[in-house]
Amino acid sequence: MKVPDQIKQEVNDLRREINHHNRLYYTFDSPEIPDADYDALFVRLQELEQSYDLVTPDSPTQRVGSEPLTQFSQITHEQAMLSLDKVFNEQELEDFEARIKKRLGSEAGIEYSCEPKVDGVAVSLLYRDGLLERAATRGDGITGEDITHNVRTSQSVPLKLDVSGMRGRLEVRGEIYLGKAGFARLNARAEAQGSKVFVNPRNTAAGAVRQLDSRNTARVPLQMYCYSIGITDDIAMPARLSEVFALLDSWGLPVNPDRSTEQGMQGCLKYCLDLLDKRNALDYEIDGAVLKVNDLEIQSELGQNARTPRWAMAYKFPAEEKSTRVLDVEFQVGRTGTITPVARLDPVFVGGVTVSNTTLHNMDEVERLGLRIGDMVIVRRAGDVIPKVVRVITPEKNKKPGIIEVPSACPACGSSVEKEGEVLYKCSGGIICPAQRKESIKHFASRSAMDIEGLGDKLVELMVDAGLINNVADVFKLTVAQVSALERMGPKSSENLIAAIAGSRKTSLARFLYGLGIREVGEATAQALAQHYGDLQPIIDASAEDHELIADIGPIVAQHIAVFFSNKENLALIEELLVQGVEWEVIEKADNADVLAGQTFVLTGTLEQMSRSESKNQLQALGAKVAGSVSKNTDVVVAGPGAGSKRAKAEELGIKIIDEGEFLSLLDSLSK
C-alpha cells in the first residue's frame, strides 16, 4: 500500500526524537522528558510502523537503549539483554495472555512470576567458578560498558557466591538502584557540604555506575535486585523462574522480597494493584510490575521479538512525573498575609489525579527553577503529596517567556506588599484584607482554637461573602435568623451552630491565644505563654525580652508576640471579643511553678498511669522544658515500657533515667 508522505515524515521525526532521548537517558543519564512522555512517543512509533509496514532494522523499536560511553571498555553480551513491552490497563494484560495462549495453542492456565519493576540501571554480572569476574551495563542490548570497578563497591553485590564446587560461568542480570533512604542520606550530606543535591534516585544510580573513579561510586549506597539469568555453562538450573530466584537467594545474590507467583492474569492483576497500593511504602522507586511466564521451558518455546521477549510484560503504573506547560503564575494571600506564587498548569494526569495548579512556595524556588510563564516543566506527584514542579525542560523552546514578578499590591485588597526576611513577601493590610479575614476566622473557629462545632470553612466563606461577619468578634453577634437565611442552613442546624458559638465563649487562655493567629505561635507556644503568665493582660504588658525567658520561645517568635499586642487594631478586636463574653479561667501560678526551671526532660516509651500530654503539662507547670529527643543538654529521661533508642542514647550519655513510678513520686513530692 502507498504510505502517505505525512506518515513517513511523522515516523522519521519520531525516530529522530526517540534516538535523541535514548542517548540522553542511557548514555548521559540526563533525561529531558519523563518516562510517560517517552512511552507515548514509543507506542506511537510502534503503531505507525506496524500499521503501515514501516519497520526497518535501524528503527529504535528494534533495539534497546543507546551506544555505550567511549571512555569505558566495551563488552559484548553473548545473550542479548532485551527490553520489555509495556501495558497500562487490565485489557492489555488480558490481550498479552491471549497472545501467549494462541502461540502455545493451548487454553491451559499459565503460572507467572511477578516482581516490582525497580527504577534503576539494568546490569549483567558474570561469575566464573563462583567469583565475580565482570559487571556490565545493558548498553544497546548487544554491547555494554564494563563497570566492574564500580559494581564491586556495592555491598549488595557478592564478590563470591555462597556455593562450593561451582565451575564455569554464571551470568546474573538485575537492576542496580539507589534506595529512598540512601538517596535522602546522600542529599543530606550534599546539603551539609554545600554541594549540589541530586535530582532523583535513578539518575544518581546511573551516574554512580558510570564513574571513572570508583571512589566516587563508593560514596553512593548502591543496591541491586537480580531478575534473571543469562549464560550458565551447564550449571544446573531449576525449571521455574521462581525456583531460580530461591536458588540465587541461597547463593547470597539479592532478590526482591516483594516478588510473588500468581496463577493467570487475574492473579497478576491483583498482584499489580496490591503493589500499587504499597508503592510509596517501599524503600525503593518503582514504576510498575514485571510479569513473566514462570516455566522456563515455555519461555524458550515462546521466544522473542527483535527487542522484547514474548513471555514477559511490564505493567506500568500511573506516572509520578509528567511534563506540561505553565500557563500563568498567580499570587495567593494566606491567613497571615504571606504572598505565595501558584503555577496554573495545562491540566495533566499525574500520580493518579489531574493537576491544574501547584504551589511554587516562594520566589526563591521560582529563581532556583529558572521558571518563566510559558515554560515546559516536569510535575511530580508521588502518593498523596502536593504536586511539585521539579524542573524546567527545553527552556530555549519558550519563544515568548513571561517574567514572574511579585506584585507591588496585594491581589486581595490592594494594600502594599512588603518583603519580610530573606524569602517571604507579605500583605500589609492585616485584618482588612479579605483573604486574611476569611482565613483568620476559619483558624479562630478551628478545633484546636475556639472549637466552634459546625462553623466549617465553607460556612465561614458564605458568611463573609454575605457580609454577616467581618472579623472574629462578629461570630459572637450572629443570630439564628441570620444563619438560617444562608443556603443549606435550616432552623435546626442554625440553632445548633448558635448554641455551639455560645458554648465556645468559655474557653482556655491557651486556645484563645492560638486562635488569634499570632505569627509562629502554635499550640505548644500558646500553652507555654498561658502557663507562664496565667492571664492575658500580663502578656499584653510584657516585652519581647520578657517572652524570651520562656522555654522554647526565641527572639523571633518573642518579637512577633510583642508586635501583635502592640497593634491597636488587634487590641481593639480582643476588647470586642471580651465584650462579647469570651472568657477563661486565670491560671494561678503555684509556689512551685519554677521548681524545675532550667531542667530538660524527655518522655519515651509507654506511660501507663498518666498520658504523655498530661505528663508534659505537669512538667511545664513546674517550669521544666520537655524535649522530643535526647541530647547532652537533657537532664532526665522518663522511660516507660517499650523505650528504645532514646533510652539507649541516654545510657550512652550517662543521663539520669527514671521509670514512671519514680516520675509520679517526683511530681507528688514537688506538689506538696
CA distances from 632 to 220, 623, 627, 645, 654 (A): 31, 19, 12, 15, 9
Would you say the C-alpha torsion 181, 183, 184, 190 has a positive or negative sign?
positive
Q: How far apart are CA 131 and CA 161, in angstroms?
A: 6
Residue 621 among known ligand-binding residues: no
Helices (H), 105-213: 148-151, 180-192, 201-209
285 is in an annotated binding site: no
Query: Is position 380 annotated in a ligand binding site?
Result: no
Evaluate whether 112 touches 261 at the Cβ level (below 8 Å).
yes
Any known ligand binding at 219? no
Residues in the chain: 672
Query: Is 226 marked as a binding-site residue?
Result: no
> Do 6 and 30 touch, CB atoms closer than 8 A?
no
Summary count for the chain: helices (H), strands (E): 24, 24
What contacts 572, CB < 8 A, 6 or more positions away? none
CA torsion sign, 661 to 663 to 666 to 668? negative
Q: At 165, list the grid cell.
A: 564446587
Distance, in Å, from the CA atom of 359 to the CA atom of 361, rounded to the nearest integer, reads: 5
**Cell (9 digits) for 420:** 519580610
Side by side, the strands of the sheet bearing 86-87 are 86-87, 312-316, 286-293, 111-118, 260-263
| Number of neighbours of residue 630 by Cβ within 10 angstroms | 22
**DSSP conformational letter for 146:** B
Check whether 292 is labelled as a binding-site residue. yes
Q: Are residues 640 and 608 in contact, defined by beta-carbon separation less than 8 angstroms?
A: yes
C-alpha cell of 597? 526551671
- All three cell numbers of 618, joined, read 505537669
* 3-state SS record for 247-281: HHHHCCCCECCCCEEEEHHHHHHHHHHHHHHCHHH
Is 307 marked as a binding-site residue?
no
Q: Catalytic pick from 117, 322, 426, 646?
A: 117
35 assigned to a ligand binding site: yes
What are the DSSP E strand ranges found in 575-667? 583-584, 600-604, 625-627, 636-639, 656-658
Reduced to 3 states, what is the DSSP secondary structure of residue 413? coil
- 38 annotated binding-site participant: yes
- What distance in Å separates the CA atoms of residue 100 and residue 311, rounded to the nearest whole number? 7
Of 585, 581, 579, the C-alpha closest to 536 is: 585
- Cβ atoms of residues 514 and 449 within 8 Å: yes
The yes-or-no answer on residue 492 being catalytic is no
Determine whether the annotation assigns residue 410 to a binding site. yes
Q: Which residue type sits at 514?
A: Y
Annotated binding-site positions: 35-39, 83-84, 115, 138, 175, 292, 316, 410, 413, 427, 433
Binding site for NAD(+), by residue number, is: 35-39, 83-84, 115, 138, 175, 292, 316
Catalytic machinery residues: 117
